[in-house]
Amino acid sequence: MSVTAQAPVSAAPAQPKTATLRYERIKPKIGARILNNKDELLHGGLGDDLRELLEIAGVLVFPAIDFTDAEQVAFTRTMGKFAPEGGDGENVTKITLDVKENPNSAEYLKGSLYWHIDGTRNDVPIRASLLSCRVPASWGGNTSVCNTYAAYDDLPEEKKAEIDNLRVLHAPWASLFYYEPEPSLAKLQGFQRVGELELPLVWKHKSGRKSLVLGCTSHHVVGIDHNKSAQLIHGLREWATSEQFTYSHEWKTGDLIIWDNTGTMHRAEAYDPNCGRMMLRTKLEGEEAFA
């Protein structure tokens, strides 16, 4: 064997190798399970492919990926711009209804038990949320996600024409009544001070695709009869959250999911608030305004 034939192999510098994305779809209209391992994901080379798949599948599931806090932050950054929550920079945020663990936002998180989009108070909502499980609930506590692109696409054409240019007033105080039917006036006013925002019922994305903008912050459809308004908000929510468009994730410690916050709604399913369920969240900054 000649020396020159061997030389290129031994002289080649160690190149970080980008794995190819491996996944299986969960349902035709929602969900994909990612099969790559932790090292392949943290390498960063799969970020663009994951973003592309996220937009199609709505939710990506990483079973037993077991990221540390720092790894979840690093992985989040492979997919876009990290959106810090609270004042503590690039870190994970504890999501729990336990007031001892979460004195500031456990109350606010009660609204997460109902179908919603994160950040309907902002013109540019966050792009995606990543949620991982430290402690699963003792019972219940699945996170369910529905695909609002697919739900729009599958509407009859006459329904699309009816709703395409409607607008909905979104107000956080609307969701207060889901879990506290008789709030004090002071509490209602406190929620009302958070603000409100009129948003399109059908989001016409730059990509050309359309998705439904609904959820428990929807107060009313602007400028139409109030009975009709309630029928639209609740009828379309019932449609968008029907079995074919919905995936419900049963958590095991170490799992992580990502939902595309621009083409889905999600909610936590009921669980015992004192059971110690502990989830860790990171977010990707929004890139596109509701339009």
Please tell me the distance from the alpha carbon of residue 216 to that of residue 214, in angstroms, as a whole number: 7
Interaction partner, residue 113 (Mn ion, ligand OGA, none; CB < 5-8 Å by kind): none
∠ Cα 68 79 15 (to 5°): 80
CB-based burial label for 180 (10 Å; 0-12, 13-18, 19+)? middle
In the bound complex, which residue of the shown chain has the CB atom lying closest to Mn ion? Answer: 118
Closest Cα partner for 203 from 280, 259, 265, 148? 148
Binding of ligand OGA at residue 120 (CB under 6 A)? no
∠ Cα 215 153 34 (to 5°): 75
Binding of ligand OGA at residue 268 (CB under 6 A)? yes
Q: Which is nearer to ligand OGA, 58 or 232 (CB)?
A: 58
Amino acid at 7: A
Binding of ligand OGA at residue 131 (CB under 6 A)? yes
Binding of Mn ion at residue 118 (CB under 5 A)? yes
Interaction partner, residue 133 (Mn ion, ligand OGA, none; CB < 5-8 Å by kind): none
Binding of ligand OGA at residue 262 (CB under 6 A)? no
Sequence-distant (≥ 6) Cβ neighbours of residue 178 within 8 angstroms: 111, 113, 114, 216
Q: How far is the CB of 53 from ligand OGA (least distance, A)?
A: 21
Instruction: Write out the two tokens for 271.
Output: 């669980």
Interaction partner, residue 219 (Mn ion, ligand OGA, none; CB < 5-8 Å by kind): none
Instruction: Write out the two tokens for 68.
Output: 């540390």
Q: How far is the CB of 170 from ligand OGA (least distance, A)?
A: 15
Closest Cα partner for 286 from 148, 80, 14, 25? 80
Cα 137 off chain centre by: 19
Of 26-34, 61-69, 106-114, 208-216, the segment contacting Mn ion by CB under 5 A is 106-114
Q: How far is the CB of 106 from Mn ion (least distance, A)?
A: 14
Distances (CA, A) of 279 to 25, 67, 134, 286: 24, 12, 6, 22
Q: How far is the CB of 118 from ligand OGA (least distance, A)?
A: 5
x/- track of binding to Mn ion for residues 60-99 (CB under 5 A): ----------------------------------------
With CB under 6 A as the contact rule, the residue among 204, 281, 287, 288 that binds ligand OGA is 281
Residue 13 has, within 13 A of its CA and on its CB side, a CA count of 2
Contact positions vs Mn ion (CB under 5 A): 112, 118
Contact positions vs ligand OGA (CB under 6 A): 95, 112, 118, 129, 131, 143, 266, 268, 279, 281
